[in-house]
């Protein structure tokens, strides 16, 4: 999937997280937006191993190093890395930041799911090299554009639901 589709999916995942995990009485627009941004960043993070990606261009040295050691869709596309990062975050982060970590992880999960929708698949259980693919949606094609439209509509719907409590 393209970076734009990943960001849309991350935003939808972030808003869904806000709606499902943050009690309506505690929802604030600023918090909802920050959690959605955290999920959107998480949604492009796994492509940090590709120097030409949105995330890879932000940290080119790290990106090139990851790609040379693990290749694209290697360690950053498996759940082991994120399970370890989540465990470390829960252990070391102050409780007030855990929702941001969880939103980021929702974005990561959206990325991994979308990458399983094309024929290349991902090594979900890296370092085991078997790749998992759920569909064959071509990169940038009509099906991906349709998915982006559906995600955009989902963002509007979920956003309306999750922010209703903030204005009532």
DSSP state of 77: G
For position 62, what pLDDT does the model report? 97
Question: Where does residue 43 rank: exposed (0-12), middle (13-18), buried (19+ CB within 10 A)?
Answer: buried
| Cβ burial, residue 136 (10 Å; 0-12/13-18/19+) | exposed
Give pTM, 2 decimals. Answer: 0.90
Q: What is the pLDDT of residue 168?
A: 41
* Greatest alpha-carbon span in the chain: 52
Report the C-alpha dihedral over residues 89, 155, 114, 33, rounded to 10 degrees: -20
| CA–CA gap between residue 42 and residue 46 (Å, rounded) | 7
Q: Which residues contact 117 (CB under 8 A, 6 or more apart)?
A: 1, 133, 134, 135, 137, 147
Q: Among candidates 19, 55, 57, which has minimal Cα distance to 157?
A: 19
User: pLDDT per residue over 69-113, tens digit each?
Assistant: 999 999 999 999 999 999 999 999 999 999 999 999 999 999 999
pLDDT digits (tens, 9 = 90+) for 16-59: 998 888 887 677 888 889 999 999 999 999 999 999 999 999 99
Extents of the domains making up the chain? 3-167
Average pLDDT, integer, range 111-140: 93
């Amino acid at each position: 999937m393209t970076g734009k589709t990943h960001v849309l999916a991350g935003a939808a995942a972030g808003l869904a997280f806000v709606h499902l995990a943050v009690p309506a009485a505690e929802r604030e627009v600023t918090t909802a937006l920050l959690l959605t941004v955290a999920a959107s960043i998480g949604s492009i993070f796994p492509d940090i191993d590709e120097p030409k990606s949105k995330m890879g261009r932000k940290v080119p040295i790290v990106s090139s190093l990851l790609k040379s050691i693990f290749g694209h869709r290697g360690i950053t596309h498996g759940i082991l890395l994120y399970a370890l990062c989540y465990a470390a975050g829960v252990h070391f982060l102050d409780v007030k930041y855990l929702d941001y970590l969880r939103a980021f992880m929702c974005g990561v999960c959206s990325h991994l799911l979308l990458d399983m929708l094309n024929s290349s698949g991902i090594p979900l259980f890296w370092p085991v090299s078997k790749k998992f693919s759920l569909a064959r949606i071509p990169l940038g094609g009509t099906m991906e554009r349709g998915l982006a439209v559906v995600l955009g509509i989902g963002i509007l719907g979920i956003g309306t639901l999750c922010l209703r409590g903030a204005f009532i």
